[in-house]
Amino acid sequence: MTKNRLLFILIFNLLVASIIVGCYFYIFSGGLSHSTEDWTIASQIINGFIITALTCTNIWIFFKLTLSIEDKNEERIIKSKVFEVQSIITQMRIKKYERINDIINERKVELVKMIFNQSNYETLKKELMSIDDSFLFKGGNLEMGCYLHPSIETLLEEIRILNTKSHSTQNLKDEDIIPLFDSLNNFINIMELYIIGQMVTDNDIANYIQNTFPDCTMKCIVQFLEKAKLELETSSKQEKL
């Protein structure tokens, strides 16, 4: 119960008390009466006012509690619907992740064997473009585009570079393979970070994970997101200056 509600109840009861005192002096003509009938009438009036005051107070409190419960129920329904939508979006993101992770693992195995076949990367390119155009991986708002876009651009560029090298030489070297291999790993890591990070962006959840939750991976993700957010804010301020 808020301070304003308590103040209202206090003022209301003081008002009732004033009415009772006024009735007392009115009945006894400003003094004490020695008549039993006068005291009986006075007690009936006082009891009536007290009961009325308590009844009105209880009705008012019950009404406020009912409104509060209804507001909480409405808020609970909204949160439930938001959670349901978030779960569906997360499942869709995970399906995208599983599909492209399988493709990337196949390409990484080929790279370890010093094999590069441009035709094997066509499926990967299609999946990357699908992710880049999807609403599932937006970077905060509609205008910012895909959060994974820089990683996708880097990965596509490394594929192009290695494809060029594979045509100019018969035997690829480790230094030729490593940039693309690292880009494949980096893309998957950022995608994992994005998917999990979307579920811990709430400040209360982040604080709970930092202070209570024992999973080190979750803590590292929260710390990374906070660091990235701070760097983004710093960069925005510098651009304004």
From first CA to last CA, the distance across the chain in angstroms is 47
pLDDT in tens, the chain (241 residues): 455 665 666 676 667 666 666 665 665 555 555 566 666 766 776 676 667 767 776 777 777 777 777 777 777 787 778 778 888 888 899 999 999 999 999 999 999 988 888 888 999 999 999 999 888 888 766 677 788 888 999 999 999 999 988 888 778 888 989 999 999 999 998 888 888 877 776 666 666 666 666 667 667 766 766 666 665 566 556 555 5
pLDDT digits (tens, 9 = 90+) for 33-67: 556 666 676 677 667 666 776 777 677 777 777 77
Domain ranges of the chain: 3-68, 200-241
Burial class (CB in 10 A: 0-12, 13-18, 19+), 229: exposed
Evaluate whether 52 touches 62 at the Cβ level (below 8 Å). Answer: no
Contacts 24+ apart (CB under 8 A), 105-108: 107/184, 108/181, 108/184, 108/185
Q: Where are the alpha helices (DSSP H) in 28-148?
A: 36-112, 122-133
pLDDT at 230: 66
pTM exceeding 0.85:
no
Amino acid identity, position 104: I
CA 3 to chain CA centroid, nearest Å: 30
Amino acid identity, position 49: F
